[in-house]
Structure 1
């Protein structure tokens, strides 16, 4: 099986590549059975894409890296032929950046996805896995979203992802392209660019600095270790039904204040290191995914306990300053 992974040098995409190429981790009993003959990574290497994320598998002869943009139709048309599966991670994904400038999000997330879908259709790719987010649903006060819930995005980022989801599903309905869509809850784990809340807080605290807490800290998120997310994606790639959406969640809801408390404790810091800041514009209050469908159809269940996962994540950042210090120095 020949697999093309877009955005494969990013946080989640690189975890998927490391998993495909045999990096140990997670629950062996639930490990994916995918055995690729080759894995091609297509990545633009924007600020959050990092070739070092692939260092653990860099010498695997099955790995090929292509530096390029999914919006470039000529390049995509060169790369896509010969692949059996496309797993599409490449996206602009930071909500705050989308609020200050939406154009790159529309360009990459919508036009880039359309470029890939056209190439997959033209070259008869066997399966197209489109990786998305729970943020496309907006906010929910109680209960949990099912896969057929109406989309109601509140940020330019989530709106661009909702548009790309609908495009992908439309290519299945219109052209018969074998498309499956995954939507995940908030991810954490190693190799995450330090603008996101967990690595930002951990690296700031390890450096003796402070951490910002939006508003009253009451916004609720479900937390999912990146390895469990990638295991779920692999199950969908392998066994998911064409034209369907599958939720991948961690099953652990925390307010931002509760998450902050856990990270302070893991880093040996106190609440005096927390600085309240003005809440984000359009900040969704609560996300919650119902994962019954992927559990019952594909046998998915999260395997990494949140407290253990956070402890191991803090340990990774503590032991890998050489990875994140240059990123923080370069990007503030």
Structure 2
């Protein structure tokens, strides 16, 4: 599988995968990205032009998709609308991209017999109670709670149906929350980091008790490559690095690492339907495919992420102004 089509490859997680796949495996990559606010050509800067090509287009456009899938050995499908707050304000782009876009890709992959790997999220499983010892497994029933997570759940089910009904050679991975370089500043960790850089106090929804299971984007990328190369067709693999932290703990760690007092933040009203806890059981991935994360120290990975945002202010400065204006307009 030397020729990969990576959808959403100019976004945060997708671009980190492209960088990782080029550096660590013998893959040439075509990136298909609509370049919405969450995609940026600069995420692909520094990659060899003879091995990485960007095509600007919509994954829901059959004509664009068909030709690219026909020329690929495998499709790695990252493209998605993925921000919960945005899905509450306007669900329609989430239906278009996450459902219609995935359907369009699946039909092209079925037509051309192309290997397909679908990137999903742990949010399709809903949430867990804070005192629940359980974690999500591939057998956990779906229970999405937002337009974002429900459309991602729907896209997962489409992939499963195309495997069963049409024999598509596909796999699925559901990953926990990613952090690392090149993440849009509307997201939780980079928003707090860039606020501190700007001398603005971080803001925390509610009491900050909500727990997320954090994984570095490079570890996500290495897991996806392992699944693509060795995963069993039709199987779902959960990707996690045992990185459970409350949002309060994450904010306090960012403040501490950036030389601030751990209470130098403000509480704001919680958002509707805010899931309490996510936790991934990656046993199947670890035991069946022999995968293990490289970033086992969350604070060390967080420190390197802070360093990246400090060193790459021109990359995020414009999107910061746009994101904060949007938040202000929405009353966040």
With the length of structure 2 as denominator, give the TM-score of the two structures. 0.94
**3-state SS of the aligned residue for 2:249?**
helix
* Unmatched segments (≥5 aa) in structure 1: 23-31
Distance in 1 (CA, whole Å) between partners of 2:54 and 2:307 is 29
- Pair 1:140 & 2:140 matched: no
Instruction: Tell me how far apart the structure 1 counterparts of residues 309 and 95 of structure 2 sit (CA, whole Å).
Output: 32
Superposed counterparts of 1:275-286, under 5 Å? 275-286=266-277
> In the alignment, does 2:252 pair up with 1:264?
no
Matches within 5 A, 1:209-224: 209-224=200-215
Shift of 1:271: 4.3
Q: Find the counterpart in structure 2 of residue 45 from structure 1.
A: 35
Of 287, 294, 309, the match for 1:317:
309
Q: Pick one of 85, 88, 91 that aligns with 2:80.
A: 91
How far apart, CA to CA, are the structure 2 residues paired with 1:64 and 1:316? Answer: 24
CA contact under 8 A between 2:212 and 2:279: conserved in structure 1?
Answer: yes
For 1:308, the equivalent position in structure 2 comes to: 300
Residue of structure 1 aligned with 2:282, choices 278, 287, 291: 291
CA contact (8 A) 2:136 2:280 kept: yes
Two-structure CA RMSD over aligned residues (Å):
1.0
> 1:65: how far off?
1.1
1:64 match: 53
Give a deviation string over 1:123-142, Cα, whole Å, max 9, x none: 111x1000000000001122
Q: What is the SS of the residue equivalent to 2:229? A: helix
Aligned mates of 1:280, 1:235 — CA distance in 2: 36
Deviation at 1:111, TM superposition (A): 0.5
With 300-309 and 85-94 compared, the bigger mean Cα shift is at 300-309
**Secondary structure class of the residue paired with 1:273:** coil
1:151-230 aligned within 5 A: 151-230=142-221
Q: Is the CA contact 1:251–1:302 (under 8 Å) kept in the aligned structure 2?
A: no
Alignment partners' CA distance in 2, 1:279 and 1:15: 30
CA distance in 1, matches of 2:89, 2:49: 40
Counterpart of 1:279 in 2: which secondary structure? coil
In 1, Cα distance between equivalents of 2:146 and 2:139: 20
Structure 2 residue aligned with 1:129: 117
Give the secondary structure class of the aligned counterpart of 1:80.
Answer: helix
How many residues are paired up?
Answer: 319
**Conserved? CA contact 1:210–1:274, under 8 Å:** yes
Q: Which residue of structure 2 aligns with residue 329 of structure 1?
A: 321
Q: 2:89 aligns with which of 100, 109, 122?
A: 100
- Structure 2 residue aligned with 1:9: 10
1:223, 1:77 → 2: CA distance?
A: 35
Secondary structure of the equivalent of 2:46?
helix
Where 1:87 maps in the other structure, the secondary structure is strand
Matched residue of 2:279: which SS? coil
1:145, CA displacement in angstroms? 1.2
Does the CA contact (< 8 Å) of 1:21 and 1:60 recur in 2? Answer: no
